[in-house]
């Protein structure tokens, strides 16, 4: 399975209206092996989890609407 | 381009004003600036008005026409400028260029935002509209989230400066307590800042700027005319720079230094024939505490990665060698988005005139303003000097 590296991240605790029922969650920028970077919500975050820049996470492909799907777990 | 000066300033107190309409805010600050400039309204040839989110926050677009009507400016041309948190500075930049090239002699510049009547979710949404709605917003980031990502990357590339960020907040509140127009009138302890709830890790509540109602107006004139009209110290715009960059954060490289700031600053320093060491004091865009630290590096005041050292050493305090945000900044004076860049100019003019009261700086001959929009997607830098 393809992996991408966390270039930077944050844990959102106060969200926009659309995301307010999902807090806390991890969003950030991931770097593909090609060096290309994209914004991504990194699914599977649980509060207190250790997240680090450079950490590898899973790229699960794109949703129908084109959104990237990135996750801490497979 | 001919020389351009500032001859009048006016602002409302910043804060929560549910009872005041947009018209009230515009009227209060606009009339004060015109009176301060010692001019009749008939002399004003154009209006440039900064506003960011009138439609979303106050159901009011076309803010330039609202302001022109409120102030009774007749049939003069007016235009609204919008560049996220840089909207106000863009109005001044357009005015400075128009007067500089001789299109007008006397121009009114304003900025206004009314925000506090809306719940946090609506305000967060409105501010998030300055991010890429296709490639960023659907991944759940917010504006604190953008600058939190910048902070985490900064910690990774240099060192963890969470404590110094808290000291930036403490200093902002200390200065704001000396500014009668500031939204926050109380000092705050380092422990209280460090213990506050997280908004977007590593940014906690007091790392974030305020949600504010307020308006600021400035009268700009060609220097040759300004010196004949003004009864106060004429303030010359000796340097001005404006640079853009991408809307999104992930397209920037690096994200721990802002290209737009560096280019706008280069233009302003070149025009003024000055270097960072010549600047006595500055108002810089502290939308978040980490942003202030990065800005002071990008403006050339401190080396990259060492902005936080200057905070520890007290260099940025009112008594320091390079006072930053004597007004209290966006953090404590407030951040009425469309007016913020002009609020910075208001402070520098007050300092240069010697009218800054309890927070008056000892050496205030040359001051700089730095206003950033969005995720560092646009920047305006001004260098002002008293004549």
Alpha-carbon span B227 to B179, nearest angstrom: 29
- Judge: A27–B141 Cβ closer than 8 Å, yes or no: yes
pLDDT the model gives residue B358? 97
Which of B120, B126, B139 is the best residue to mutate to test the A interface, defined by the most A CB atoms within 10 Å of its own CB?
Answer: B139
E strand spans, chain A: 3-12, 25-31, 37-43, 56-62, 68-71
A40 has a chain B CB within 8 A of its CB: yes
Alpha-carbon span B14 to B17, nearest angstrom: 8
pLDDT the model gives residue A58? 98
Nearest CA in chain B to A41: B139
Residue-wise pLDDT tens digits, B170-227: 999 999 999 999 999 999 999 999 999 999 999 999 999 999 999 999 999 999 999 9
Of B149, B248, B253, the CB nearest to A28: B149
In degrees and rounded to multiples of 5, residue B220 shows phi and psi of -115, 140
ipTM for the predicted complex = 0.98
pLDDT the model gives residue B121? 87
pTM over 0.90: yes
pLDDT the model gives residue B21? 98
As averages over each run of 10 residues, the pLDDT of chain B (387 residues) reads: 97 98 98 97 98 97 98 98 98 98 98 96 93 96 97 98 98 98 98 98 98 98 96 97 98 98 98 98 98 98 98 98 98 98 98 98 97 98 97
Known catalytic residue at B379: no
A19 has a chain B CB within 8 A of its CB: yes
Known catalytic residue at B101: no
CA of A42 vs chain B CAs: smallest distance (Å): 9
Cβ-Cβ contacts under 8 Å for B203 (sequence gap 6 or more): A10, B144, B147, B148, B151, B288, B289, B290
DSSP annotation of A50: -
Which of chain B's residues have a Cβ under 8 Å away from the Cβ of A15? 124, 140, 142
Cβ-Cβ contacts under 8 Å for B65 (sequence gap 6 or more): B78
Which of chain A's residues have a Cβ under 8 Å away from the Cβ of B250? 7, 29, 37-39
A60 has a chain B CB within 8 A of its CB: no
CA of A7 vs chain B CAs: smallest distance (Å): 8
pLDDT the model gives residue B82? 98
A39 has a chain B CB within 8 A of its CB: yes
Ranges of each domain in chain A: 3-71
Nearest CA in chain B to A28: B149
Fold of the domain built from segment(s) B4-118+211-229: Peroxisomal Thiolase; Chain A, domain 1 (3.40.47)
- Judge: B149–A19 Cβ closer than 8 Å, yes or no: no
Checking if the pLDDT of A1 tops 90, the result is no
Which of B141, B251, B252 is the best residue to mutate to test the A interface, defined by the most A CB atoms within 10 Å of its own CB?
Answer: B141
Residue-wise pLDDT tens digits, B115-142: 999 998 899 999 999 999 999 999 999 9
Catalytic choice (B78, B173, B242, B335): B335
pLDDT the model gives residue B271? 98
Alpha-carbon span B358 to B339, nearest angstrom: 23
- Give ∠ CA B17-B20-B21 in degrees, rounded to 5: 125
Of A7, A12, A68, the CB nearest to B140: A12
Ranges of each domain in chain B: 4-118+211-229
Of A11, A25, A29, the CB nearest to B249: A29
Which of chain B's residues have a Cβ under 8 Å away from the Cβ of A19? 140
- Judge: B124–A28 Cβ closer than 8 Å, yes or no: no
pLDDT the model gives residue B261? 98
- Judge: A13–B199 Cβ closer than 8 Å, yes or no: yes
- Give ∠ CA B66-B61-B31 in degrees, rounded to 5: 25
Strands A68-71 and A37-43: parallel
Nearest CA in chain A to B126: A16
CA of B74 vs chain A CAs: smallest distance (Å): 40
Catalytic choice (B85, B208, B287, B379): B85
């Amino acid at each position: 399975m393809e992996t991408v590296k966390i270039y930077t991240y944050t844990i959102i605790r106060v969200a926009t209206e659309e995301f307010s029922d999902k807090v806390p969650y991890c969003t950030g920028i991931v770097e593909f092996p090609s060096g290309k970077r994209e914004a991504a919500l990194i699914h599977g975050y649980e509060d207190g989890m250790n997240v680090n820049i450079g950490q590898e996470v899973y790229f699960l492909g794109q949703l129908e609407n084109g959104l990237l799907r990135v996750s801490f777990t497979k | 381009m001919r020389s351009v000066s500032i001859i009048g300033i006016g602002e409302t107190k910043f804060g929560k004003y549910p009872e005041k309409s947009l018209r009230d805010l515009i009227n209060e600050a606009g009339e004060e600036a015109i009176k301060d400039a010692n001019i009749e309204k008939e002399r004003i040839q154009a209006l440039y008005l900064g506003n960011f989110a009138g439609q979303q926050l106050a159901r009011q677009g076309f803010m330039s026409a609202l302001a022109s009507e409120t102030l009774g400016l007749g049939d003069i041309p007016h235009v609204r400028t919008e560049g996220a948190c840089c909207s106000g500075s863009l109005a001044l930049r357009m005015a400075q260029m128009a007067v500089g090239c001789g299109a007008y002699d006397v121009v009114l510049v304003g900025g206004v935002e009314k925000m506090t009547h809306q719940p946090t979710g609506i305000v967060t949404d409105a501010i998030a509209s300055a991010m890429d709605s296709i490639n960023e917003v659907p991944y759940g980031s917010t504006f604190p989230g953008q600058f939190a990502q910048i902070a985490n990357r900064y910690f990774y590339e240099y060192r963890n400066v969470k404590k110094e960020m808290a000291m930036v907040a403490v200093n902002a509140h200390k200065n704001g307590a000396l500014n009668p127009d500031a939204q926050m009138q109380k000092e705050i302890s380092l422990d209280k800042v460090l213990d506050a709830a997280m908004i977007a890790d590593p940014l906690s509540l007091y790392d974030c700027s305020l949600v504010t109602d307020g308006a600021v107006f400035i009268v700009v004139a060609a220097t040759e005319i300004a010196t004949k009209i003004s009864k106060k110290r004429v303030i010359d715009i000796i340097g001005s720079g404006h640079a853009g960059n991408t809307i999104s954060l992930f397209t920037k490289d690096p994200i721990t230094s802002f290209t737009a700031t560096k280019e706008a600053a280069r233009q302003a320093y070149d025009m003024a024939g000055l270097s960072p060491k010549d600047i006595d004091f500055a108002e810089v865009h502290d939308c978040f505490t980490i942003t202030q630290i990065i800005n002071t590096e990008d403006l050339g005041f401190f080396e990259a990665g060492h902005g936080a050292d200057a905070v520890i050493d007290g260099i940025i305090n009112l008594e320091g060698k390079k006072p930053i945000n004597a007004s209290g900044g966006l953090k404590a004076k407030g951040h009425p988005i469309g007016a913020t860049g002009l609020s910075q100019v208001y402070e520098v003019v007050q300092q240069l005139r010697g009218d800054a009261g309890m927070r008056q700086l000892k050496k205030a001959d040359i001051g700089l303003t730095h206003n950033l929009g969005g995720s560092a997607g646009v920047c305006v830098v001004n260098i002002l000097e008293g004549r």
